[in-house]
Structure 1
């Protein structure tokens, strides 16, 4: 399979997974629920924040689809950019933190040619971005982004730490886009969708946590 088709198929699969995560998340808590102040707001550094332990994170995330938790499997998505303006170029900055050491993760296993895959999706699923952030030596990631509509968004980071027996992790965090928000109603559920000439069909039954 050509590289372009591989990446497209991978992105389509992520979109289906994240769509399911939004459906479950809506039944649990609002996507744009209030969050604790970030280190940027409190003036603290990455290593000074109080984070859940690996055991606490695993317990909270048990049975939930990837992307609904900011912490899972001993790792936390530290989203430094929590708000951008609609229609304006911005830089999205974040880090993946090892909860045991409170240090940024700097070693990742490559999947589909990338160390980390980043998806940004609006809560009404009308806007979707598959971004390719760059990692600095200190483990901070950054990528340019421009989101056309105001409202609540979810940032999904999909990665596999380069550690012995490490498994793939998908973490999610909320992103607010300022402006005149006019959410679109969610489309009717369908098992087949065509986007940019690619037809994707979902087979089988979906169950939360399975």
Structure 2
């Protein structure tokens, strides 16, 4: 996965799982034998949202000393569109960022409306972050979230909005027949992204 320096190894592990499922979806997407009787169209898109490479506070820990000092891996927005032919559709965008924001979503929806009319709106577009604390901050609209970045950082904001829009454009352009599969099972060693000592305070039956 793609992050700035000082990334928590546990976040890397969770991100690796995201890539696993993305790769599986792509594999199913490109498997002609499996998709022959599909009732869905599926589109995938990915675009760079790395943003400022240095001297910007990272979003998440509210630590003014956590300043970016170079690029370790590129950050990306990854878009997935699932559509019924001539029917409903939904867009899910996953960001290599701590979270999305209302302002980011509003600006993305404005651009999509200008490009596609009412095809993509607040009713069918979801934007989510992977909760990494190792990407540049300053892109949210509320004061409490941008105190440690010393205010709004236009470069962070613009690159995220641009990347989301471009990833959705890519996904829209490559819509093609695909299938959706739901699997149920036990997934081990994939959610260790909090303090192990704090986790042990949970009742034994819940661990």
Fold conserved (TM > 0.5)? no
Higher strand share: 1
TM-score, normalised by the number of residues in structure 2: 0.24
Higher helix share: 2
Work out which of the two has the higher radius of gyration on C-alpha atoms and give 1 or 2.
2
TM-score, normalised by the number of residues in structure 1: 0.24
